[in-house]
Amino acid sequence: MTNYIYQGFLLQSSCRIELSKPIIHHYGRLTDGASFLIRETRQTPCFYISEDQYRNRRIRKFNKVRTSEQAIDGASLLRLECSTPNDIPSARDTLHLEGIATYEGDITLPQTHLIDNNICGGVEINASNVSRNASVDYVFENPELSPADIDIQLRVLAMEVEIFRLDPLGLQICLQGDSTDLVLVIDPVESVSKSRDLVFADLRTGLRALDKLVAQIDPDVLMVWNLRDSDLVKLLEHCRCRRQEIRWGRTTKSTFVRRSNSSGDTLRVLVPGRLFVDVKQWIQRFFPELTTRIRSNFRSALSSDKPTTTTTLDQLKARVQLLFQLIQQLNIPQFAVLRTQMTGAILDPSINQPDSLDAIYLRRLRPRGIRARSTLNVQHDYRPKQPITKIFRREAGLSQNVSVCRFKDLWPNLIRMFNIDWLTLTKEDCNEAIHTNNQITFTRQRGILPQIFEEIQHDRSVFSSTEEEILNRTTTLIKNSLMEAIANPRNRFYDRQIVNAIWSLGRHFLLYAIQWFEAFGCRVIFNDGKQIYICVGNDEPNRARKVIEILTTQFNQELNSYVRKTWYIANTLKINAEYFYQRVFLVNYTTKRNRTRTNLAALHHPSEQISLHGFDFDRKITFPFLSQFQKNLYQRVLYKDCIHSYVYELIDNIKRGHFDHRLGFNDRRKFNRLYNQMASKDERLADRLVRIRENRSRFINQLVKPMLIPVYQAIGERTSTIEILCNR
């Protein structure tokens, strides 16, 4: 029998029950552009349990099989096999309630199949049984799979749906793609011109035409903005209640909505063979570093809230074009493909899947014959014994010649240096082991976690040199997600000793750096656990900058010898002076929960540009006018200008009503003249003016005054001056 070899990329994995047997479906696209479906019937649903805890007990619908697999702690495991995957959750949860641990009982059958074959998106298919059907170009029955490095560009189709009438149902659907710009209107009243768009008077006829359009375009990913507030969910539920099928997938099965939680908070649109993605959710998950301002701009531009009048087709087209432009600018599909190739995580982030740590670590455990513990749905107290927040420093005031120093990749380098891993954690006390400062011991045999971070660090250096921003962003976010997963108590590998070892070592080296620089006469004014703001002195800025460069070089040399003499390991930590500020103004605010929040304004050297940090998170500033006033105030402090005249003029203008149009007050005219003219004619208008005057005073006392007090305290001025200015 002839074998055929194909290469492609997996898009979606699912499991179906046919004739009481589980069948795995892997949908994807080949390198030549054809779509394919892999049907796998040889995978058996199973999970593992400790042989000591089993004690010859019988579990219904499961067969006991002895294996050579082991747990991370070295315990021997038994494999419990069943006929369908639906039998696993109930048996697994029952064992958890009895205090019996299970292993890999929460991993789905398709994901287990991909992990066993070490598939990370790209796949090489060696098949002898190849067929075709009307929905998919190729169907492979039980092929042999192997990993492959595939370069693929996904086809994306942006979609916007608007229902402008409920009875009879009238809707507008706009599609936007690389070579697609279509508008489909379903209106029984026929209120839209037929010469401009595709208009259908019947809902069933219009939906069949839409199915043909999607099949003709054949996209890999369907994208919408904010699925929760979209009319698409209403359309799908309307069609399901009336038994009208929408077939956008690569099978004959219909597209439908699934609410994951009992309250229906989590929505998923299931399209067989294609991904259906909420762009807003992808941005929140893959691009968390986007500022609040950028997200608010996207939210206002792509908002699906309906005005009082019906949204026109031009507005709908503009909205979907902006959505498609956003997808291209952020390059979301390519980023998701690279993340899948590097970690093996499923492409769709809306699915409850193992995170990046699970996807990478489980593949490394397979050759060692080790199975990981199942995830428990319980909360844990995972606060470290020595939290790094105890070394926060916030020295308010104006400082000159400040350098921002930072350990490059502090936490990953600590894992690499001290060989921190769940497999290397040991209780044996021997001379060859590595002992952390909180008496946690790790063996010197190379662990999996340090190897993972070494590969990521190598990839980051390569990608940065090739100036490919998307690749560098991918590796950076994967590294951050791995560190978050290590400290997450819901992670299957969570261990309190691992978390405490990492945090205590980070705290130790940060304190070591602070004490070292202070011994040379420097002053640390701010430290947030990541960056150290070091004040060199009051010398000339160029001279102070050279001093900090010499000090950082000397510190790195002494740090190498300190690590080598103390732990007998190679040092990979290195502190870098990232920025140099001519002046830094630091202000501390106390929140309602007695927490300290820091606003920081800095004057760069030699560009003399001003950067502001922490202002976007000020919840008290509800007016853009106040935000601008605060920034102008800090700029005057940095340039050493007089702030009394500026504050006096601003408060005086607020009281006189010159800023009423910017503060939201209704009347812009002056109070005294209006009151004298209108009091004798209309008492209600006079009372209204009095209330506006009270609002102005309340505005100054409740918003402006709390903003000025920390600033005056930081620069050493008396706060009584503010009382005089606000209450005069």
Lowest mean pLDDT: which of 20-24, 272-276, 458-462?
A: 458-462
Average pLDDT over residues 601-624: 69
Which is more confident, 689 or 355?
355
CB 202, CB 208: distance < 8 Å: no
Spatial separation of the C-alpha atoms in residues 648 and 645, rounded to whole Å: 5
Q: Which helix (H) or strand (E) holds 256?
A: strand 256-259
Collapse the DSSP code of 32 into the 3-class scheme (helix H, G, I; strand E, B; otherwise coil) and give the result: coil
Closest residue by Cα to residue 103 from 395, 422, 376: 376
Non-local (6+) Cβ contacts of 418 within 8 A are 434, 436, 442, 501, 505, 567, 569
CA atoms in the 13 A half-sphere facing the CB of 517: 30
Can you give the pLDDT at residue 124? Answer: 92
Q: Output DSSP code: residue 701.
A: I
Cα-based distances in Å from 710 to 400, 586, 619, 697, 706: 19, 10, 16, 20, 7
Spatial separation of the C-alpha atoms in residues 666 and 689, rounded to whole Å: 10
Spatial separation of the C-alpha atoms in residues 14 and 27, rounded to whole Å: 9
* Max intra-chain CA distance, the chain: 105
CA torsion sign for 497, 503, 504, 509 is positive
CA atoms in the 13 A half-sphere facing the CB of 90: 9
Average pLDDT over residues 324-333: 82
Does the domain at 4-147 match CATH 3.40.640.10? Answer given as: no
Identity at 144, one-letter amino acid code: E
Spatial separation of the C-alpha atoms in residues 103 and 84, rounded to whole Å: 18
Can you give the pLDDT at residue 512? Answer: 93
User: 3-state SS of 132-181?
Assistant: CCCCCCEEEECCEEEECCCCCCCCEEEEEEEEEEECCEEEEEEEEECCCE
Residue 618 — very low, low, confident or very high, per pLDDT cuts 50/70/90? very low
Average pLDDT over residues 672-696: 57
Average pLDDT over residues 275-303: 66
Average pLDDT over residues 660-678: 53
Tokens 């980023």 correspond to what residue?
335
Which is more confident, 443 or 332?
443
| Burial class for 224, CB neighbours closer than 10 Å (0-12, 13-18, 19+) | buried
Which is more confident, 228 or 47?
47
CB 547, CB 535: distance < 8 Å: no
Question: Is residue 308 pLDDT above 70, yes or no?
Answer: no
Can you give the pLDDT at residue 353? Answer: 44
Can you give the pLDDT at residue 466? Answer: 46
Question: Is residue 298 pLDDT above 80, yes or no?
Answer: no
How many other CB atoms are there within 10 angstroms of residue 51's CB atom? 16
Spatial separation of the C-alpha atoms in residues 378 and 277, rounded to whole Å: 29
Q: Which two tokens stand for residue 275?
A: 């991904």
Helix axes 705-714, 624-638, angle to 10 degrees: 10
User: 3-state SS of 48-98?
Assistant: EEEHHHHCCCCCCCCEEEEEEEECCCCCEEEEEECCCHHHHHHHHHHHHHC
Non-local (6+) Cβ contacts of 506 within 8 A are 388, 410, 411, 414, 529
Lowest mean pLDDT: which of 134-143, 225-234, 271-280, 673-682?
A: 673-682
Establish whether the linkage from the previous residue to 606 is cis, with ω within 30° of 0: yes
Closest residue by Cα to residue 405 from 545, 539, 612, 502: 545
Q: Which two tokens stand for residue 183?
A: 């508008």
Residue 557 — very low, low, confident or very high, per pLDDT cuts 50/70/90? very high
Q: Which two tokens stand for residue 690?
A: 């009095």
Tokens 């090739």 correspond to what residue?
466
Can you give the pLDDT at residue 635? Answer: 85
Cα-based distances in Å from 384 to 94, 193, 417, 421, 664: 31, 66, 20, 17, 47
User: pLDDT over 90 for what percent of the chain?
Assistant: 20
Span 53-76, pLDDT tens digits: 877 566 767 888 888 899 988 889
Q: What is the CATH number of domain 156-330?
A: 3.30.420.10
Span 246-270, pLDDT tens digits: 888 888 888 878 776 544 457 788 8
Can you give the pLDDT at residue 304? Answer: 46
Task: Give this prediction's pTM.
Answer: 0.81
Superfamily for domain range 388-450+478-585:
B family DNA polymerase, palm domain (3.90.1600.10)
Average pLDDT, the chain: 80
Question: Is residue 434 pLDDT above 80, yes or no?
Answer: yes
User: pLDDT over 70 for what percent of the chain?
Assistant: 81
Span 559-600, pLDDT tens digits: 999 999 999 999 999 999 988 999 988 887 665 555 566 778
Collapse the DSSP code of 561 into the 3-class scheme (helix H, G, I; strand E, B; otherwise coil) and give the result: helix
Collapse the DSSP code of 404 into the 3-class scheme (helix H, G, I; strand E, B; otherwise coil) and give the result: strand
Average pLDDT over residues 80-105: 87
Q: What angle do CA 520, 526, 529 make, to 5 degrees?
A: 100
Spatial separation of the C-alpha atoms in residues 269 and 277, rounded to whole Å: 8
CB 462, CB 392: distance < 8 Å: no
Can you give the pLDDT at residue 566? Answer: 92
Establish whether the linkage from the previous residue to 168 is cis, with ω within 30° of 0: yes
Residue 681 — very low, low, confident or very high, per pLDDT cuts 50/70/90? low
Can you give the pLDDT at residue 338? Answer: 84
Residue 665 — very low, low, confident or very high, per pLDDT cuts 50/70/90? low
Average pLDDT over residues 460-480: 68
- Taking the domains of the chain in order of start, what are their residue ranges? 4-147, 156-330, 388-450+478-585, 625-727
Average pLDDT over residues 134-154: 88
Spatial separation of the C-alpha atoms in residues 630 and 646, rounded to whole Å: 11
Non-local (6+) Cβ contacts of 684 within 8 A are none
Can you give the pLDDT at residue 415? Answer: 94
Q: Are strands 102-103 and 256-259 parallel, antiparallel or unpaired?
A: unpaired
Residue 207 — very low, low, confident or very high, per pLDDT cuts 50/70/90? confident
Closest residue by Cα to residue 486 from 439, 569, 420: 420
Residue 463 — very low, low, confident or very high, per pLDDT cuts 50/70/90? low
CA atoms in the 13 A half-sphere facing the CB of 406: 11
Question: Is residue 93 pLDDT above 80, yes or no?
Answer: yes
